[in-house]
Structure 1
Amino acid sequence: MGTLSTITGSAPVTPAQAVHQLHGRLMAAGWQRMYAGELGRVALLSLRPGLTVWCWGGQFRWRDSSGAQVTHPAADPDGVARLLGVADRPLLARTAA
């Protein structure tokens, strides 16, 4: 029988853990005033008015600026942080000015 060598201890197990890791990545990138919550199998991270990232069923989910749903694996909070950073760069530049 083989081993599960691709599984690492850093991969989130629950939605709350995934959101906690995403929160840490975004804080390190300079995001502020984020609010997190969780209830059982669902967790969320409110980043700003109009942008809330939900996590359930092994996926992060949010709506982009056009209202389309975006999903990304919950096991990759770094990837979500990169996607959110790229998506919000114009907004962050406008609010900093």
Structure 2
Amino acid sequence: MSHPRLNNPRSHRAKLAEAARVKRAPRHGFRADRSVEALFSELNARQARPLFQAGSADVAIVSTRCGLNVWCRDGKFIWNDVLGSTITHPASDPSGAAALINPLRPLHIAAPAPRHAPHHSLRLSAA
């Protein structure tokens, strides 16, 4: 004996129609967190010293020690360069993005202070 709610073909068709109306991300869809993981490992390999990574399947971020934040959203990596212009790169190419990000690193690090010759006193003695 079966329950009428469990084996009702009309309710099954109604559930299928409702499921078709609800928009869901496909199983093979873009995942920002996985792209950021790949970028994080690429930056580690290039010694750009990433500091932090976080996010979800929709939006994720990598932060570096030099103050650069790289966002991943809608299938692209997004960051601002030193001059303030926005740069985008496809998230399917984390090694290419790491190569573009790496040259920015030396611009953020302060140069070492130049060494001067020893300072001589300007005191003059009467001869």
Q: Pick from 76, 95, 105 the counterpart of residue 88 of structure 1.
A: 105
Distance verdict in 2 for CA 1:87–1:32, change over 3 Å: closer
TM-score using structure 2 length: 0.58
Identify the structure with the greater strand proportion: 1
Structure with max Cα Rg: 2
Q: Pick from 10, 29, 34 the counterpart of residue 46 of structure 2.
A: 29
Give the equivalent residue in structure 2 for 1:16: 33
Distance verdict in 2 for CA 1:84–1:35, change over 3 Å: same
AA in 1 matched with 2:49: Q
1:1-97 correspondence runs (5 A): 13-48=30-65, 50-92=67-109, 94=111
Distance verdict in 2 for CA 1:51–1:78, change over 3 Å: same
Distance verdict in 2 for CA 1:81–1:93, change over 3 Å: farther
Contact 2:32 2:58 in 1 (8 A): yes
AA in 1 matched with 2:52: Y
Contact 2:75 2:91 in 1 (8 A): yes
In the alignment of these two chains, the number of paired residues is 83
Per the TM alignment, residue 50 of structure 1 is displaced from its structure 2 partner at its CA by 3.4
Per the TM alignment, residue 86 of structure 1 is displaced from its structure 2 partner at its CA by 1.5
Give the equivalent residue in structure 1 for 2:17: none
Q: Larger relative CO (CA 8 A, sep 6+): 1 or 2? A: 1
Structure 1: segments with no counterpart, 5+ residues: 1-12
Give the percent of matched residue pairs that are identical in Structure 1 and Structure 2.
34
Q: What is the rounded CA distance, in whole Å, between the counterparts of 2:90 and 2:77 in structure 1? A: 6
Per the TM alignment, residue 72 of structure 1 is displaced from its structure 2 partner at its CA by 0.2
RMSD: 1.9
Structure 2: segments with no counterpart, 5+ residues: 1-29, 113-127
